[in-house]
DNA sequence: AGCACGCCGACT
DNA sequence: GTCGGCGTGCTC
């Protein structure tokens, strides 16, 4: 007998080994095997008859049985193709850490009943989470709940009395949860991305909570959205797939709508007043428009809490003589200005500079801070409301100032007033998800606001459809507009995007990027945008964006294979990111 | 990914 | 002559 094994290597190949007599192996089992005279952990992907003359032998097993089912192996293979990565690396990224000494006792991973596959459902509405808990409590089947981050996974584990598979739990606990799930001894397990292939006895329910959360597709391998992977898994193993979100991604909404699979849980409840406030002529001088100032006054008079959401990371310095923004000499991005630290620093290369006393381009002396970051908003609010307790850290402060993440940890209805200091930062970013992100932020703001309170949105586009839809508490309106726009402009879900980036010494990297362009140009169905330099001096890259049909990875993979394989050729390495 | 092999420039 | 840089190719 011969065992084919894949490793965490950037090669598409599997390696064949002889199986020592007396050792019995399963597909999906972890083993140690010699590779280049070193012992490495790999996964058995095939067992076959054949002469094993001249082959090295498997050293030992890591777990006593299969840790991945055939469906999970197949999902891994698909995910590898989809993200132009290797089978082995993809699988290894989704496994619990191996036990250091003893062989872990494992019951064989359950196999599947593809007949049970049903249409994936998208659950929206304020009662979606309660409904999920109720559903899982009543059902007898197994369930896997995937949350965007560890904090959220821990919360779900508690709510569902489930075992945790994420890295917030100890390694031993993660392994125990994995194997308990495989044996059917833990009916419900929760985790983050690393738990996506956890074995479950059928009939299983796969759940993705906060479907819209960008943490479901973090940077780095495996470059694939958890949603896509779970969908594939549910089809292959015949399990039910549920996605939950208050504000789903446009892609998921569209797909679910096409399949009549949107479920609204909960009535439209009382909703705070949403008031757009036009910032024209105000924002350069002050972060608070009149409506927002009034709302803060009103809330503080009633001793209620206020949150101010800032969308800008940092302010910069502006020369009021020539209108130029001070930029990093190497990276060309605006320098970040901090009054507290009395310094400028570059976000890309980290280089710090003392405050200059004149403009480098026109030598003017009138340099002013520009852009409302949390530091400047805090100072302005203190100045305007000296009696208010104002803070960027303390959640109990009367006025809490920070990024959108402060809404995520707040219970519904926490604030009497939420102010969005400058929504347009999201809308004007050259990113087709701008509308979606603005909608998501405003909806979260409304949910964190007491139904008797108000959300003040400061913007130059008070009539924007995202604002209108949140005001009316109407998901449908927003998604209809957004889907239409995406279709017209050829963005997801109607076409797929791919970003290629080439790192290396700039001339040669540029050449390589041009080669990629040549390789893809003129291919039926592809739109290729020419390479552009990004990343400044610290991390310089040439990036090109490709638009294409749904099978884009399978179109470009063979074309780019030579460039991707000879990765260390002088001139840099090519990296591919699907669905950036 | 790591690691060995091999082909060219600088050197005791 | 050799030492060692890195570009190239292979790993059962």
Give the pLDDT band of residue A446 (cuts 50, 70, 90).
very high
**Spatial CB neighbours of A509, under 8 Å, sequence gap ≥ 6:** A502, A503, A540, A541, A542, A571, A572
Specify the pLDDT at position A136: 97
- Of the candidates A344, A346, A339, A352, the residue with the CA atom closest to the CA atom of residue A379: A339
Q: What is the mean pLDDT of chain A?
A: 90
A 27-86 residues, CB < 7 A, strand C: 33-37, 55-56
A160 CA → B8 C1’, Å: 66
% of chain A with per-residue pLDDT over 90:
65
Residues contacting nucleic strand B by the 7 Å CB criterion are A 9-11, 36, 38, 567
Closest nt by CA–C1' to A567: C8
φ, ψ dihedrals at A46, nearest 5°: -155, 145
Specify the pLDDT at position A110: 60
Specify the pLDDT at position A533: 85
Q: Which two structure tokens, joined as six digits, stand for A36? A: 């280049």
Closest nt by CA–C1' to A569: C7
A351 CA → B8 C1’, Å: 38
Q: Which two structure tokens, joined as six digits, stand for A549? A: 């049909």
Taking a C-beta distance cutoff of 8 angstroms, is the pair A193, A206 a contact? no
Is residue A106 pLDDT above 80, yes or no? Answer: no
Closest nt by CA–C1' to A55: C12
A338 CA → C2 C1’, Å: 57
A10 CA → B1 C1’, Å: 7
What is d(CA A495, CA A525) in angstroms, rounded to the nearest whole number?
A: 10
A11-23, pLDDT tens digit by residue? 889 999 999 999 9
A529-545, pLDDT tens digit by residue? 998 888 777 677 888 99
Q: Which two structure tokens, joined as six digits, stand for A104? A: 């872990």
3-class secondary-structure state, position A69: coil
Q: What is the pTM of this model?
A: 0.91
Give the pLDDT band of residue A566 (cuts 50, 70, 90).
low
A258 CA → B8 C1’, Å: 63
3-class secondary-structure state, position A150: helix
Residue A15, CB, strand C, below 7 Å: yes
Neighbours of A291 (CB within 10 A): 17
Q: Which of A9-18, A214-223, A571-580 holds the top average pLDDT?
A: A9-18
A116 against A56, higher pLDDT: A56
Specify the pLDDT at position A419: 98
Specify the pLDDT at position A112: 58
Specify the pLDDT at position A426: 85
Protein-proximal positions, strand B, CB < 7 A: 1-3
Closest nt by CA–C1' to A565: C9
Strand partners, A316: A370
A14 CA → C3 C1’, Å: 38
A363-380, pLDDT tens digit by residue? 998 998 888 999 999 999
- Average pLDDT of span A155-178: 93
The protein residue nearest C9 (Cα–C1') is: A566
Protein-proximal positions, strand C, CB < 7 A: 6-12
3-class secondary-structure state, position A580: coil
A36 CA → C4 C1’, Å: 24
Is residue A115 pLDDT above 70, yes or no? Answer: no
Closest nt by CA–C1' to A86: B1
Give the pLDDT band of residue A568 (cuts 50, 70, 90).
low
Of A240-244, A250-254, A257-261, A394-398, the range with the lowest mean pLDDT is A394-398
Taking a C-beta distance cutoff of 8 angstroms, is the pair A196, A146 a contact? yes
Give the pLDDT band of residue A263 (cuts 50, 70, 90).
very high
A571 CA → B6 C1’, Å: 20
What is d(CA A296, CA A357) in angstroms, rounded to the nearest whole number?
A: 36
Query: What single-letter DSSP state applies at residue A326?
Result: P
A570 CA → C5 C1’, Å: 14
Specify the pLDDT at position A486: 96
A27 CA → B2 C1’, Å: 27
Specify the pLDDT at position A246: 96
Query: What single-letter DSSP state applies at residue A50?
Result: S
What is d(CA A99, CA A96) in angstroms, rounded to the nearest whole number?
A: 9
A 205-234 residues, CB < 7 A, strand C: none
């Amino acid at each position: 007998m011969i065992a084919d094994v894949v490793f965490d290597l950037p090669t598409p190949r599997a390696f064949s080994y002889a199986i020592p007599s007396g050792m019995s192996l399963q597909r999906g089992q972890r083993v140690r095997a010699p590779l280049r005279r070193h012992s490495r952990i790999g996964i058995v992907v095939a067992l076959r008859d054949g002469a094993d003359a001249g082959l090295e032998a498997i050293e030992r097993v890591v777990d006593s049985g299969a840790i991945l089912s055939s469906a999970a192996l197949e999902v891994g293979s698909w995910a590898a193709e989809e993200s132009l990565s290797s089978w082995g690396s993809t699988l290894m990224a989704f496994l619990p850490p191996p036990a250091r000494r003893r062989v872990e006792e494992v019951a064989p991973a359950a196999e599947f009943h593809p007949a049970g596959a049903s249409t994936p459902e998208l659950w929206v509405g304020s009662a979606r989470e309660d409904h999920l808990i109720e559903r899982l409590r009543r059902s007898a089947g197994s369930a896997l709940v995937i949350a965007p981050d560890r904090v959220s996974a821990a919360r779900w584990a508690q709510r569902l009395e489930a075992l945790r598979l994420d890295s917030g739990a100890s390694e031993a606990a993660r392994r125990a949860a994995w194997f308990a799930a495989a044996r059917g001894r833990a009916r419900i397990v929760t985790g983050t991305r690393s738990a996506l292939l956890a074995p479950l006895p059928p009939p299983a329910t796969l759940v993705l909570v906060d479907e819209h959360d960008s943490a479901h597709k973090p940077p780095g391998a495996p470059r694939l959205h958890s949603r896509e992977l779970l969908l594939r898994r549910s089809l292959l193993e015949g399990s039910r797939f549920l996605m939950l979100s208050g504000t789903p991604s446009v892609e998921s909404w569209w797909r679910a709508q096409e399949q009549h699979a949107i479920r609204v849980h909960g009535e439209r409840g009382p909703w705070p007043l949403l008031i757009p406030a036009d910032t024209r002529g105000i924002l350069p001088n002050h972060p608070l428009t009149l409506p927002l100032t009034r709302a803060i006054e009103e809330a503080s008079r009633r001793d209620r809490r206020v949150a101010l959401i800032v969308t800008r990371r940092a302010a910069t310095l502006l020369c009021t003589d020539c209108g130029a923004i001070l930029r990093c000499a190497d990276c060309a991005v605006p320098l970040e200005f901090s009054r507290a630290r009395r310094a400028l620093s570059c976000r890309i290369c980290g280089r710090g500079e003392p405050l200059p006393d004149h403009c480098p381009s026109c030598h003017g002396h009138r340099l002013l801070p520009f852009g409302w970051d949390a530091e400047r908003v805090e100072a302005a609010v203190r100045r305007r409301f000296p009696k208010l307790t104002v803070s960027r850290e303390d959640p109990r402060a009367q006025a809490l100032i920070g990024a959108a993440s402060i809404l995520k940890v707040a219970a519904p209805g926490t604030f009497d007033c939420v102010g969005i200091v400058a929504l347009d930062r999201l809308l004007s970013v050259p990113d087709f998800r701008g509308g979606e992100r603005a909608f998501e932020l405003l909806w979260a703001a409304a949910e964190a606001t007491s139904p008797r309170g108000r959300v003040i949105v400061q913007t130059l586009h008070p009539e924007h459809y995202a604002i209108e839809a949140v005001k009316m508490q109407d998901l449908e309106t927003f998604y209809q507009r957004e889907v239409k726009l995406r279709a017209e402009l050829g963005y997801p879900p109607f076409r797929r995007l791919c970003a290629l980036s080439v790192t290396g010494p700039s001339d040669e990297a540029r050449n390589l990027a041009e080669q990629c362009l040549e390789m893809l140009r003129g291919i039926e169905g592809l739109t290729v945008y020419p390479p552009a330099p990004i990343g400044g001096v610290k991390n310089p890259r040439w990036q090109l964006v490709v638009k294409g049909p749904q099978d884009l990875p399978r179109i470009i993979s063979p074309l780019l294979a030579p460039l991707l394989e000879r990765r260390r050729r002088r001139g840099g390495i090519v990296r591919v990111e699907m669905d950036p």
